[in-house]
């Protein structure tokens, strides 16, 4: 089976030796503090380091009170739902949307309204609990949202008085240059002083280092952090201080930034391999944009002629997997697209996967 | 401040060197598998090891399908609430009850009925979603539930067709011999073959090794495990494979059992130091049983003459802390008891804490 389905990094690039060394330093330096139940908000040294980084990157003033560590950014999404959402509340979100967010918030049965970047719906923003966006190389579409659109959304969020959840796991996976300021950064540029804004920003080491440490973070105004910490307390008491201490050692040394420079060219090469092979084999039936970062290519069936929920079984029969668009659509109605991951497999395997996908499509259309 | 409030192990006994070595082995042996998003149910090797251990200990037949790993046993309680509880459902529980369980289940606003070990309320069991018990050295009371009572509860659970959540973090902290079979073990003895019973058993390395790995587990029939895994997926995708691999290395080598032999005598000495000092200083106002294991002494005000919610502020003024009984009572009405922890501090500090508590009581009664 060639899986183009998951959202997984290239395992062969995991920095095992650096993590081994960091684990040794973590215990030597932090001692028993790395082995306790933590403060629920996370290892103080790592909270402070992230506050300092965000301050430097954005030019703002963030303290530890603005930072909470989580079991991956996914737990951040879950806790945000627990704290902000009542049953049936409205969320304004990009469509298609990250599946994990849909899963996390499903228990509250939210109503979704589509976020149109070119003309945000200010009425929807006024009545929603929060907006949710992945401006950098979104999942599943790989789209990089431009600065004009970011600015428009920020203005409308500020005007409407709602929250904006800015989920940013892919930022450092840049293939064609820097994507420019995050929405948080744009906000801070216009609102100097201690951070007190409506943006709830999610970060993680899952895509830049490894997912298995399960270290993510939420940056937000301190009242929100306190409410999220209360919710986390009744969920798991705290995340692992040990993995947070390991992450601290790696981030303090700046290793994540160095490692991103290793990863990005490999991922770019894989993106090219997949897109080139797809151009040769899949373009009679599908169209797509070449993503400038991240982990995914988002393909749309030309003329909605192929139902990807149905194609999926044909693909499995050819030993290749993708994720059909319906799972990313809050209405569940979009069944003419598919998400292909290009980071997990070698270029040769990616080409093999596309070849199998072509066979599956040919069988599907002549069924 | 001398804190007798927390439920924390003795940090100076944390086996730092062994965990350093285990972290090295974990990465050398499990490689990138220890750095991935895991299977949501947990690291396969650790699931299999726990299934094998439980099979050996109970004489039953447990497979990996009966085991899910969690971020501490606390996450197990949260997930059980998510899967089993609807709003307003009834839980039959020991009273007083572990605070973390009350916190985890509070969002569902359950109705609690008290579990009377000597005469379980079979009507309540028939109508509740599950019973919750900590038979070994309970939190907060330190009580060891005898085998006759365990047997009675098991029979009533089986008759009523409800679930029993058996929470067992303290089992290896034995000061006066083995407590005998768990309720799970009693069930298995009477029901040989692949496990398919109503007991949902929670274990953890938090008390025997360190809390900071955040490795706990749920043992249950496989359908429940599947439902819990779905709930976990939308909570945090998976717990850390790295800390699970570290725990695997330690458990596979049997180090947790060796280490329990190191911890228990130290804790017994501390229990004796606290109880001896308390007998000299606090017996005019409080009474208690000497616990035969675990981490806590549960003190009751004689004649309900002291309100421990009120005493608490006097104690803080004397720089000593405890947990008042009201937080463990689902009705919030019991304000004549307190939980004292004896595992975290040295005997000298425990004696100092009791001396301060005596001063606080004298000021309280003469206020």
Q: Which of B23, B107, B243 has the CB atom closest to A240's CB atom?
A: B243
- Helices and strands counted in chain A (H then E): 12, 13
Q: Note whether B107 contacts A82, CB cutoff 8 Å.
A: yes
Q: Which CATH architecture has domain B2-11+257-365?
A: Alpha-Beta Complex (3.90)
Q: Which of A11, A31, A104 has the CB atom closest to B36's CB atom?
A: A11
Specify whether the CB–CB gap between A126 and A160 falls below 8 A.
Answer: yes
Neighbour count for residue B169 (Cβ, 10 Å): 26
CB interface of A with B, residues 224-243, below 8 Å: 233-243
**B18-46 pLDDT, tens per residue?**
999 999 999 999 999 999 998 999 999 99
The residue of chain B with its CA nearest to that of A24 is B20
Continuous segment of H or E residues that includes residue B159: helix B147-160
Q: Does A24 touch chain B (CB under 8 A)?
A: yes
Which ipTM did the prediction report? 0.95
A2-11+258-365 CATH fold: 3.90.1150
**Rounded-to-integer distance, Cα A197 and Cα A247, Å:** 27
Q: Going by DSSP bridges, is the β-strand pair B286-287/B296-301 parallel, antiparallel, or unpaired? A: antiparallel
Contacts of A107 in chain B (CB under 8 A): 82, 234
**A88-116 pLDDT, tens per residue?**
999 999 999 999 999 999 999 999 999 98
**B4-17 pLDDT, tens per residue?**
999 999 999 999 99
Question: What SS3 string covers B160-229?
Answer: HCCEEEEECCCCCCECCCCCCCCHHHHHHHHCCCECCCCEEEEEECCCCCCHHHCCEEEECCHHHHHHHH
Read off the pLDDT band of A37 (50, 70, 90).
very high
For chain A, give every domain's residue range: 2-11+258-365, 15-254
Give the pLDDT confidence score for residue A83 in this predicted structure: 97
Task: Report the residue of A37, A101, A249, A343 to disrupt the B interface, i.e. the one with the largest count of B CBs within 10 Å.
Answer: A37
Per-residue pLDDT, averaged over A122-134, amounts to 95
In this model, does residue B203 exceed pLDDT 80?
Answer: yes
Contacts of A236 in chain B (CB under 8 A): 70-72, 74-75, 78, 214
What does CATH list as the number for A15-254?
3.40.640.10
**B228-267 pLDDT, tens per residue?**
999 999 999 999 999 999 999 999 999 999 999 999 999 9
Contacts of A204 in chain B (CB under 8 A): none
Neighbour count for residue B123 (Cβ, 10 Å): 10
Neighbour count for residue B116 (Cβ, 10 Å): 15
**B142-177 pLDDT, tens per residue?**
999 999 999 999 999 999 999 999 999 999 999 999
Specify whether the CB–CB gap between A228 and A220 falls below 8 A.
Answer: yes
Measure the CA angle with vertex B52, ends B49 and B56; round to 5°. Answer: 140
In this model, does residue B120 exceed pLDDT 90?
Answer: no
With 0-12 / 13-18 / 19 or more C-beta atoms within 10 angstroms meaning exposed / middle / buried, residue B57 is middle
Give the pLDDT confidence score for residue A28 in this predicted structure: 95
**Rounded-to-integer distance, Cα B58 and Cα A132, Å:** 49
**Rounded-to-integer distance, Cα A43 and Cα A34, Å:** 8
The CA–CA distances, whole Å, from A299 to A337, A341, B285 equal: 5, 11, 74
**Rounded-to-integer distance, Cα A336 and Cα A325, Å:** 7
**Rounded-to-integer distance, Cα B92 and Cα B63, Å:** 29
């Amino acid at each position: 089976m060639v899986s183009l389905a998951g959202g997984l990094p290239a395992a062969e690039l995991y920095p095992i030796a650096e993590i081994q060394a960091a684990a040794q330093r973590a215990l030597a330096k932090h001692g028993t503090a790395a082995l306790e139940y933590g403060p629920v908000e996370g290892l103080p040294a790592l909270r402070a380091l992230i506050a300092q980084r965000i301050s430097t990157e954005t030019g703002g003033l963030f303290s530890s009170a603005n930072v909470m560590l989580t079991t991956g950014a996914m737990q951040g999404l879950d806790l945000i739902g627990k704290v902000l959402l009542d049953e049936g509340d409205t969320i304004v979100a990009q469509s298609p949307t990250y599946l994990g967010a849909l899963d996390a918030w499903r228990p509250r049965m939210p109503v979704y309204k589509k976020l149109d970047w070119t003309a945000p719906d200010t009425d929807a923003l006024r009545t929603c609990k929060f907006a949710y966006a992945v401006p950098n190389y979104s999942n599943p579409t790989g789209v990089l949202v431009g600065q004009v659109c970011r600015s428009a959304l920020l203005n409308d969020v500020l005007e409407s008085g709602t929250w904006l959840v800015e989920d940013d796991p892919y930022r450092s996976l840049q293939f064609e240059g820097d994507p420019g300021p995050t929405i948080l950064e744009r906000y801070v540029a216009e609102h100097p002083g201690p951070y007190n804004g409506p943006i709830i920003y999610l970060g993680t080491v899952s895509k830049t280092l490894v997912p298995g440490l399960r270290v993510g973070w939420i940056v937000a105004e301190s009242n929100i952090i306190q409410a999220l910490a209360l919710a986390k307390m009744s969920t798991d008491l705290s995340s692992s201080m040990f993995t947070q201490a390991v992450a601290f050692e790696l981030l303090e040394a700046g290793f994540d930034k160095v490692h991103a420079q290793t990863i990005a060219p490999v991922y770019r090469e894989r993106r090219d391999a997949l897109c080139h092979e797809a151009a040769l084999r899949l373009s009679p039936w599908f169209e797509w944009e070449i993503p400038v970062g991240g982990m995914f290519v988002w393909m749309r069936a030309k003329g909605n002629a192929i139902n990807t929920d149905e194609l999926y079984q044909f693909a499995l029969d050819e030993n290749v997997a993708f994720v059909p668009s319906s799972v990313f659509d809050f209405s569940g109605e979009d069944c003419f697209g598919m998400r292909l991951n290009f980071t997990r497999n070698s270029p040769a395997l990616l080409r093999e996967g596309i070849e199998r996908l072509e066979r599956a499509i040919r069988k599907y259309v002549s069924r």
